[in-house]
Structure 1
């Protein structure tokens, strides 16, 4: 694909996070143009002034676009409204779905109004991820005032301030409590102030010795308020609301809470705004006083975009939102605003939003116009050499998606392959459309491998000419697999079960990637297992992991993210001169952790080729380095949602193995190929967000850990690493902050590393077991009795371990962990009793087979398969 064409495609199709929007009108109110004039789509004007909106350039541009949306032959305004009324009447949700196409998640300020709009969570049906809430602090303050006024306790006399002191203390206490509750609410991702409208952005200090002005401000406000429509618009009080919110957000930084920025309306607004005081330059002092809190300057700060850009440039806690001006200003103005924003603002500090409200068309027009303008500007910058294509793509996806995901701690990911390379298309497309996009971008690919991972962690596959695979993707053909696979071992012998019946492999095209590092015109795709009737098969490892991931999200609003470290030992083929027997020996011997020796330097071409080959299919390593054992290296993969992260791990291992083979080497995952050196792990990082349930989650993991290791240490050879002193997690069930001799290393709030894990594991099942145990802990609200262990628990006395709540040893053999799993009803229920029964059957048979071999034969057998 032409690089500029791939850039255009990415900008036009990559999912977006709308970081500031409002509720959509209900169907009953959607055509009430008297109360909600449709002209407000393109104008901030109100009343008589709004009549002039139909003669503006933004209006005429919007009318043409709306004609295409409504499939109307004319852009005449009356005809457009008539066409719209038909859509609202017959398929309002269909119109909304079309207008929100490509929106991954909405961050809603749902306190714009409490009338005629759909509820906060109603919007979930139109987005890929759950809607999040932005709390408007002035509306929250008004609700607290309203409750006080309804009780009728407001003094009749205004001149005696002492009469208002108790009410002020009550108000400030209740307001602070409501803000604090919102800070801990997982549905809330940020706060917003409209102080720009009320009293201006020159927020003054309110915590000095003289509290009289603040009390007078409160007295004026509550005296003028009514129970139904209190309005907070008195400067000292408004300033206090902002500063108190900032103080509470600052204090929350000392607790394991997700980041929650403060959004501020700046610049463009309704006619009740003071345009001079809407300049974000007024905020400079406030921003500098709260470096711990992130500020989002909404609405491009137009017409003060450059002033806002300066703040976002020089303060690391300032972000510039590019919303609202789309579609409120002309095309030229939109281009100018984006170019001004790019003058000095880091592209990592630019956010996208629609400020969509009431009418779904506000979302559609904003998104469409923004993508068009962003495409034009970025293509221009690439053509003149200011951006490379790769830099432009990274900036585009950051602005559209990842900056908001990071800033608001959303932990959102999308399966959009090739954000940098343009290889694949959008995962939310229908499967056949995704395949066609892949074929267009990769015309040399002739074959597709449909892959799955069995219970022995063997990757198995079927290969299809691409035309035959297209039939499978279009559901015109099904691929049946004998159910005996559920009991199959590495050499195709079967541990038990039946040979009658089959399940069907369904390709997941979000995992489709080219095969690289080998001489093949092919690509691989992972699969789901389905029953004859098309239902998910309980025994499918990928389905199991997706299911528990969904349960955490749906029941507790906990989002899980995984990332993996790939450790391999590179071996050279050797031959025993006395017997002629072939074996494997270390590729490097003058070798140590993170060191560049003479032998390690000779491996650089191979290591860099691995990194570049992975990058060519959009797997971008975070780092790689020499590990401790001879010939051992580690490659760290980026985080992703659990299933996608394991898919990437499987693909990365394939690439590493194939590139090594091109150099005459074997890359093995054997857990401990040398008894005299450190073992080889496959450590996993798991984050849960928000981390507020981490204690019960961790308690569940520790409680079930002996059963979990049946999946994470899934071979007898795995237990050669359950030893103290080799940085593999040592010998006791424990956790510790940054403790590499604990099975679970806590890295930060909600972020853990699993040390008891290696390359013999079916990683879909290993992650399923870990997340299921954590889910069970949260479900049962299990208390965390084990304390933070800062030492190797094996070096402590029994008394010292007991004081830390460390009472259980890790299994030292596979049979012990399988016995624990066989008696663990909780994990069996969560993972599926049939899956657990079959898994145990296979692993016991595998253990028996391997233990019948001598040590040398067993080592070679594992090295050649893993």
Structure 2
């Protein structure tokens, strides 16, 4: 094992964007639904286990549950049920070696762990506030259209004032996409849009109110996480290209850090934005556990073709199953180690620089952006 791999294996990762895990035992349909961004297709003969991520689960998670590598799905799920979800979480989360979790608490269609429950005694936990959830809660409580902007701002300020909150997040990529007017909407425009939205109800997907949400995030002053690229079928992928944000990023230059999450297949566009804007950062997030350790180095190599090394962060975007917290960490460690060691061996990078990149991308870049303690 080379020095780069040793350094990565020893590093307590900072997972700057993830979610909780389900607090229940899972049957096969429930488990399969959580290891795909698509849907289960009963009767089709297609199983998420027969995919790169399903193979990676059986290869890298099975031994931690006391099984042989590549155990068949039936054996894997039977062993998982035998151990129970608490023991599965203990083993897999412990093996991930994550020292800090930044947890998006705004998405929970299942009963999942809180940030503190996810971290347990082995790690520190912080919260990321999803602003669409705040806006929808304001609407659900009842508000007059002309009072929506002030009510949303007050609710957002209250949410980010909670202990442990380090960032806000938007899922504008899902709701409208990024081909938005980059300018801040006026009060009258917001009021008219709020009247339309409140009358029809449902999710916050009005382009004017989404713009207002993004500009409110700027006013809040915390780092802003933006989902970009790969996601479930609710997404229209062509609208989630972060390059569509270029004009808006010009408008907000010098204000807040913007963290582009996941990015694949637009990780090269995200790398460009992180190269030309001081306030833009990126990760490749859930792409790593979906391609698995076997291809993680290829995705990371593309993300790092031009990205300044202080601009790439680690995240898993794991949700629901602890397997994804483990696979994200394993894929990042193995993929980055292979990439950097190859460059060291080719004398394109010295070992000292490689070891700095390990620490920066795996932990310190997140600490610098979110400003939590270096000892957490």
Q: 1:683 is matched with which residue?
A: none
Asked if 1:240 is matched to 2:233, the reply is: no
CA contact (8 A) 2:292 2:331 kept: no
How many residue pairs end up in the alignment? 372
In the TM superposition, what whole-angstrom CA distance separates every residue of 1:792-837 from its partner, at most 9, and x where no partner exists?
xxxxxxxxxxxxxxxxxxxxxxxxxxxxxxxxxxxxxxxxxxxxxx
* Residue correspondence of structure 1 range 6-155 to structure 2 within 5 A: 6-26=3-23, 29-34=24-29, 36-38=30-32, 40-41=34-35, 43-48=36-41, 51-73=46-68, 75-88=71-84, 91-92=87-88, 94-99=90-95, 101-113=96-108, 115-129=110-124, 131-148=125-142
The separation in 2 between residues aligned to 1:303 and 1:288, in whole angstroms, is 23
Does the C-alpha gap of structure 1 residues 201 and 295 become closer, same or farther in structure 2, counting only changes over 3 Å? same
5+ long unaligned stretches in structure 2:
none
Does the C-alpha gap of structure 1 residues 383 and 40 become closer, same or farther in structure 2, counting only changes over 3 Å? same
CA contact (8 A) 1:105 1:127 kept: no
* Residue correspondence of structure 1 range 771-790 to structure 2 within 5 A: none
The separation in 2 between residues aligned to 1:340 and 1:412, in whole angstroms, is 29
The one of 309, 313, 322 equivalent to 1:351 is 313
Asked if 1:304 is matched to 2:280, the reply is: no
Higher relative contact order (CA 8 A, sep 6+): 2
Task: Give the match's secondary structure for 1:343.
Answer: coil
CA contact (8 A) 2:228 2:240 kept: yes
Asked if 1:338 is matched to 2:300, the reply is: yes
Asked if 1:369 is matched to 2:339, the reply is: no
The separation in 2 between residues aligned to 1:205 and 1:349, in whole angstroms, is 24
The separation in 2 between residues aligned to 1:114 and 1:61, in whole angstroms, is 25
Q: 2:257 is matched with which residue?
A: 294
Q: 1:738 is matched with which residue?
A: none
Does the C-alpha gap of structure 1 residues 369 and 307 become closer, same or farther in structure 2, counting only changes over 3 Å? same
Task: Give the match's secondary structure for 2:142.
Answer: helix
* Residue correspondence of structure 1 range 203-214 to structure 2 within 5 A: 203-205=180-182, 207=184, 211-212=188-189, 214=190
Task: Give the match's secondary structure for 1:108.
Answer: strand
Task: Give the match's secondary structure for 1:268.
Answer: coil
Task: Give the match's secondary structure for 2:305.
Answer: helix
Task: Give the match's secondary structure for 2:48.
Answer: helix
* Residue correspondence of structure 1 range 199-238 to structure 2 within 5 A: 199-205=176-182, 207=184, 211-212=188-189, 214-225=190-201, 230-238=202-210
The one of 146, 149, 168 equivalent to 1:191 is 168
* Aligned-pair CA distance for 1:97: 4.3
TM-score w.r.t. length of structure 2? 0.92
Q: In proportion to residue count, which structure has more helix?
A: 2
Task: Give the match's secondary structure for 1:375.
Answer: helix
* Aligned-pair CA distance for 1:238: 1.5
The separation in 2 between residues aligned to 1:123 and 1:176, in whole angstroms, is 29
Q: 2:152 is matched with which residue?
A: 175
Does the C-alpha gap of structure 1 residues 281 and 11 become closer, same or farther in structure 2, counting only changes over 3 Å? same
The separation in 2 between residues aligned to 1:248 and 1:57, in whole angstroms, is 40
Q: 2:228 is matched with which residue?
A: 266
TM-score w.r.t. length of structure 1? 0.41
The separation in 2 between residues aligned to 1:90 and 1:358, in whole angstroms, is 13
* Residue correspondence of structure 1 range 641-790 to structure 2 within 5 A: none
In the TM superposition, what whole-angstrom CA distance separates every residue of 1:220-243 from its partner, at most 9, and x where no partner exists?
322222xxxx41112222221112
In the TM superposition, what whole-angstrom CA distance separates every residue of 1:111-170 from its partner, at most 9, and x where no partner exists?
1116411223223414332x1000000011111111117xxxxxxxxxxxxxxxxx1232
Task: Give the match's secondary structure for 2:180.
Answer: coil
In the TM superposition, what whole-angstrom CA distance separates every residue of 1:361-396 from its partner, at most 9, and x where no partner exists?
110111112111111111001011121101000000
Q: 1:813 is matched with which residue?
A: none
CA contact (8 A) 1:206 1:240 kept: no
5+ long unaligned stretches in structure 1:
150-166, 250-259, 415-866
The separation in 2 between residues aligned to 1:46 and 1:90, in whole angstroms, is 26
The separation in 2 between residues aligned to 1:72 and 1:368, in whole angstroms, is 18
In the TM superposition, what whole-angstrom CA distance separates every residue of 1:203-224 from its partner, at most 9, and x where no partner exists?
3246456934x44432332222
* Aligned-pair CA distance for 1:244: 1.9
CA contact (8 A) 2:65 2:88 kept: no
The separation in 2 between residues aligned to 1:169 and 1:210, in whole angstroms, is 8
Does the C-alpha gap of structure 1 residues 90 and 141 become closer, same or farther in structure 2, counting only changes over 3 Å? closer
Task: Give the match's secondary structure for 1:132.
Answer: strand
In the TM superposition, what whole-angstrom CA distance separates every residue of 1:696-723 from its partner, at most 9, and x where no partner exists?
xxxxxxxxxxxxxxxxxxxxxxxxxxxx
CA contact (8 A) 2:146 2:194 kept: no
* Residue correspondence of structure 1 range 263-662 to structure 2 within 5 A: 263-291=225-253, 292-299=255-262, 301-331=263-293, 333-413=295-375
The separation in 1 between residues aligned to 2:123 and 2:34, in whole angstroms, is 28
* Aligned-pair CA distance for 1:91: 2.8
The separation in 1 between residues aligned to 2:323 and 2:293, in whole angstroms, is 17
